[in-house]
Every structure is written in C-alpha cells, then in structure tokens.
Amino acid sequence: MTTSTPVLRGFAGFVLVVRFLTELALLAGLAVAGARLGGGVLFDIVGAVLWPALAAVIWALVVAPRAKRRAPEPTRFILEFALFATAALALNAAGLLLVGIVLAAFGVATAIAVRVFAKDS
C-alpha cells in the first residue's frame, strides 16, 4: 500500500508550511513557559517536557490531518485556539507577554488561513 504525500504548491502550500512552523512555535513556547514556571531545576525540566508533550498528544489525536479520531469543525478550531491561548497565558505568566501575544496572534491567524486557503488540511 502506498500513501501519497500532498504536494505543497501555491499559497495553500505556503499556508501549510506556516501552520507547521506555528505548531513548532507552540511546542517551543510551552517548553519555555514550563521551564520558567517550574520553581526548581527538577520541576523546570518536568514542565519543559510535559507541557509541550501534552499539547502534542492533543494535537496528534484530534487536530492533525492524519488523526484517527480527528475532531470536526468548529471543535478542531476551538481546540487550536485553546492551545495557542494557553501557551500565550503561560508565556505571560513566565514574564514573556509580547512573545505570548505574538504566538497566539500568529497561531490563530494561521488556523483561520488554513480553513480559508488549504481546506481540510
């Protein structure tokens, strides 16, 4: 059995690449916030690993295009919004307000762009 990989062309392809980059930024933001809010070396490490791991599991199970139990719209959008908002709030609590705002704005804008320009991806 062969699986075809979608070809990333045009603006839709660009939007999907940006989406992937915002997903990575989401995980990085949660890792930074988890590390800064841990309250000790051990808790810093645990937070830096567990927060992004939890987000990655949620994304893989219900948001990702190849998820076996992919959530329908608008539930999927709400989950994406909640993940980026959580990361923004965590970064704000870690003293990185501007980084949190930028991450949330780009994440939500990209989620909207995916639904407009790269439907069902």
With tokens 């076996």, the residue in question is: 68
| Rounded mean pLDDT, 53-67 | 95
- The pLDDT-based confidence of 7 (bands split at 50, 70, 90) is low
| Burial class of residue 95 (count of CB atoms within 10 Å of its CB; 0-12, 13-18, 19+) | exposed
pLDDT tens for 71-92 read: 999 999 999 999 999 999 999 9
Domain boundaries, the chain: 27-117
- The pLDDT-based confidence of 5 (bands split at 50, 70, 90) is low
Across the chain, what does the average pLDDT equal?
A: 92
- Please tell me the total number of residues recorded for the chain in this structure: 121
pLDDT at 69: 93
Report the candidate in 83, 80, 75 with the shortest Cα–Cα distance to residue 54: 83
- The pLDDT-based confidence of 9 (bands split at 50, 70, 90) is confident
Pick the more confident residue, 58 or 9. Answer: 58
Residue 6 pLDDT greater than 90, yes or no: no
Report how far residue 69's alpha carbon sits from residue 89's, in angstroms, rounded to the nearest whole number: 28
Residue 36: CA atoms inside 13 Å, Cβ hemisphere, count?
Answer: 15
C-beta separation of 86 from 94 below 8 A: no
Number of other CB atoms surrounding residue 9 within 10 Å: 8
With tokens 């870690």, the residue in question is: 94
pLDDT at 84: 98
Q: Is the peptide bond before 74 cis (omega within 30 degrees of 0)?
A: yes
pLDDT at 39: 86
Pick the more confident residue, 28 or 119. Answer: 28
Q: How far is CA 41 from CA 55, 87, 97, in A?
A: 22, 21, 23
